[in-house]
Chains A and B, each alone.
Chain A
Amino acid sequence: MLELYFAHVNTMMNLPEKSDVAIAGGGLLGRLLAWQLLEAGHRVSLYDAGSFTESASAAHTAAGMISPISEAIDTEPLMYDLGLVGLEQWPQWLAQLSVESLPVHYAHQGSLILAHHRDQSLLQQYAHDMKRQLPESAQGQWLDKASINALEPDVADHFQQALFFSQEAHIDNRQLLSALLTRIQQLGGECIANTAVDVSANTIQCLDAGTVKQVDCVLDCRGVGAKVQWNGVRGVRGEIVRVQTDEIRLQRPVRLLHPRYQLYVVPKLNNEFVIGATQIESEDNSPVSVQSALELNSALYTINPAFAEARIVEMTSNLRPALNDNRPQIQYDNGLVKVNGLYRHGYLLAPVVVQHVLDLLQGKTTNSPFNDVLLKPIDVSQKRIASHA
Chain B
Amino acid sequence: MNTETIQNDPLTLYGEHLSSRFLLGTALYHSPQAMCDSIAASGCDIITVGLRRQSPKDNSGDHFWQLIRDTGCKLLPNTAGCKSVKEAITTAEMSRELFETNWLKLEVIGDDYNLQPDPFGLLEAAEQLIKRGFKVLPYCTDDLILCQKLLDVGCEVLMPWGSPIGTGLGLMNPYNLKTLRERLPHIPLIVDAGIGSPSQACEAMEMGFDAVLLNTAVAKSQQPEQMALAFAKSIEAGRSAYRAGLMEARQTASPSTPVVGQPFWHNG
CB of B188 closer than 8 Å to a CB of A: no
Interface size on B, residues (CB 8 A): 19
CB of A309 closer than 8 Å to a CB of B: no
Say yes or no: B59 contacts A283, CB within 8 Å: yes
What's the Cα separation between A327 and B62 when bound, in Å? 19
Stretch at the interface among B26-34, B155-163, B257-265: B26-34
* Interfacial residues of chain B within 140-165, with CB under 8 A of chain A in the complex: none
Of A133, A237, A289, A292, the residue contacting B222 (CB under 8 A) is A133
CB of B121 closer than 8 Å to a CB of A: no
Say yes or no: B59 contacts A324, CB within 8 Å: no
CB of A379 closer than 8 Å to a CB of B: no
Chain A residue at minimum C-beta to C-beta distance from B66: A234
User: Whole-angstrom distance from the CB of B132 to the nearest CB of chain A?
Assistant: 25
Q: How many A-B residue pairs have CB under 8 A?
A: 63
The answer to whether residues A281 and B33 also contact, given A132-B222, A286-B56 and a CB cut-off of 8 A, is no
CB of A366 closer than 8 Å to a CB of B: no
Residues of A within 8 A of B33 (CB): 324-326
CB of A100 closer than 8 Å to a CB of B: no
CB of A135 closer than 8 Å to a CB of B: no
Interface size on A, residues (CB 8 A): 27
- Tell me what chain A mostly uses at the interface: helix, strand, loop, or mixed: loop
Residues of A within 8 A of B67 (CB): 324
Say yes or no: B30 contacts A234, CB within 8 Å: no
User: Whole-angstrom distance from the CB of B215 to the nearest CB of chain A?
Assistant: 12
Residues of B within 8 A of A227 (CB): 63
User: Whole-angstrom distance from the CB of B67 to the nearest CB of chain A?
Assistant: 7
User: Whole-angstrom distance from the CB of B87 to the nearest CB of chain A?
Assistant: 11
CB of B110 closer than 8 Å to a CB of A: no
CB of B69 closer than 8 Å to a CB of A: no
Residues of A within 8 A of B55 (CB): 280, 282, 284
Say yes or no: B63 contacts A234, CB within 8 Å: yes
CB of B54 closer than 8 Å to a CB of A: yes
Residues of B within 8 A of A280 (CB): 52, 54-55
CB of B43 closer than 8 Å to a CB of A: no
CB of A141 closer than 8 Å to a CB of B: no
What's the Cα separation between A160 and B62 when bound, in Å? 43
User: Whole-angstrom distance from the CB of B64 to the nearest CB of chain A?
Assistant: 4
Chain B residue at minimum C-beta to C-beta distance from A326: B31
CB of B183 closer than 8 Å to a CB of A: no
The answer to whether residues A129 and B56 also contact, given A234-B62, A326-B32 and a CB cut-off of 8 A, is no
CB of B53 closer than 8 Å to a CB of A: yes
Residues of B within 8 A of A324 (CB): 31-33, 36, 67
Residues of B within 8 A of A286 (CB): 54, 56
Say yes or no: A284 contacts B222, CB within 8 Å: no
CB of A39 closer than 8 Å to a CB of B: no
CB of A211 closer than 8 Å to a CB of B: no
What's the Cα separation between A132 and B220 when bound, in Å? 14
Chain B residue at minimum C-beta to C-beta distance from A288: B54
User: Whole-angstrom distance from the CB of B179 to the nearest CB of chain A?
Assistant: 29
What's the Cα separation between A282 and B52 when bound, in Å? 9
Residues of A within 8 A of B56 (CB): 282-284, 286
Say yes or no: B62 contacts A289, CB within 8 Å: no
Chain A residue at minimum C-beta to C-beta distance from B64: A281
User: Whole-angstrom distance from the CB of B224 to the nearest CB of chain A?
Assistant: 10
6 interchain pairs, CB-CB under 8 A:
A234-B63, A260-B166, A282-B52, A284-B56, A289-B54, A324-B33
Q: Which residues of B contact A (CB under 8 A)?
A: 30-34, 36, 52-56, 59, 62-64, 67, 113, 166, 222
Inter-chain pairs besides A289-B53, A324-B67, A326-B32, 6 sampled, C-beta below 8 Å: A232-B63, A282-B56, A284-B59, A322-B31, A326-B31, A327-B31
